[in-house]
Amino acid sequence: MKTWKDIFMEKVKEMHVTEPWILQEDNTIQVNILKPGWKEFMQRRAFGRFQCSQCWHKWSSAKVHILFHMHRSRRQCQGAVRMRVFRQACRQCPDPQLEEPDFSQENMARILNNLVLKILQECYHVPVQPSDLVEVVVDAPVAGPHDSARCEGCQLGVCREPRPAQASAASTRVKKASTHRIWRGWDLTPQATQTCCPPSFSSTSLWKRYCCIGGCLLCVLAVLLFVLLYFTNK
């Protein structure tokens, strides 16, 4: 079983983010409360499975929200993500604890895929369309309505849908195959090297052009010299 950190590392590599990034779980971060320079991304409507630690009752929810705060340090050429999964409580216990959900590996990969897209957009200024975000699939039927009284997200006011545009984007079905194609062409090196990393990008083409112009000038000079010598010898 891969952890959030394992899959995050894979996604960062797969989507050509050249700088190192780390992911940490942090249950203290809050919606819209950000340190300067930090960006926020909320993955809504993820599907998770819960189990009560007191009575072992199991339930599923398609309304699990995951909050991410992300920050890229230009000076240190690295990035950090804090992650908070909003918990739910058992409806069969009189005095339940908040339980953390489990996610399928596929859903974890999709959630982190969306996160890295947001990192590319917010921290590297790569254009990302709302439709590029992958829906976090429901892989089992969910019984009953959302129990707001026992949802940490509802208690903190994060379960409410923010804007209709974002809601419709979240419900847009995106073909699985197409998602891999989207970022294949992205090369983050120009932005990533702006501040401190050694340049390794298309300066070679510029060199080729200079060499070409220099070569042409040399040829012209050689011809002129030859003509001059020819006439002075006569």
Q: Pick the stretch among 4-12, 70-78, 157-165, 210-218 that binds Zn ion (CB under 5 A).
A: 157-165
Q: Pick the stretch among 106-114, 147-155, 172-180, 198-206 that binds Zn ion (CB under 5 A).
A: 147-155
Residue 90 or residue 120: which is nearer to Zn ion going by CB? 90
**Could you say whether residue 54 binds Zn ion (CB under 5 A)?**
yes
Residue 71, phi then psi, degrees to nearest 5: -145, 130
Do the bridges between strand 39-51 and strand 58-73 make them parallel or antiparallel, or are there none, so unpaired?
antiparallel
**Could you say whether residue 128 binds Zn ion (CB under 5 A)?**
no
| Contact present, 99 and 52 (Cβ < 8 Å) | yes
Min dist. Cβ of residue 155 to Zn ion (A): 8
| Contact present, 191 and 125 (Cβ < 8 Å) | yes
Min dist. Cβ of residue 188 to Zn ion (A): 35
Angle (deg, nearest 10), helices 4-14 and 105-124: 50
**Could you say whether residue 154 binds Zn ion (CB under 5 A)?**
yes
Provide the mask over 57-76, with x wherever binding to Zn ion is found by CB under 5 A and - wherever it is not. Answer: x-------------------
Which residues within the stretch 173-202 sit at the binding site for Zn ion (CB under 5 A)?
Answer: none
User: Out of 42, 52, 81, 109, which residue is the one contacting Zn ion (CB under 5 A)?
Assistant: 52
Q: Which residue type occupies 57?
A: H
| Contact present, 158 and 86 (Cβ < 8 Å) | yes
Tokens 């991410």 label which residue?
Answer: 68
End-to-end CA distance of the chain: 88
Which residues in this chain contact Zn ion in the complex, by CB under 5 A? 52, 54-55, 57, 90, 92-93, 151, 153-154, 159
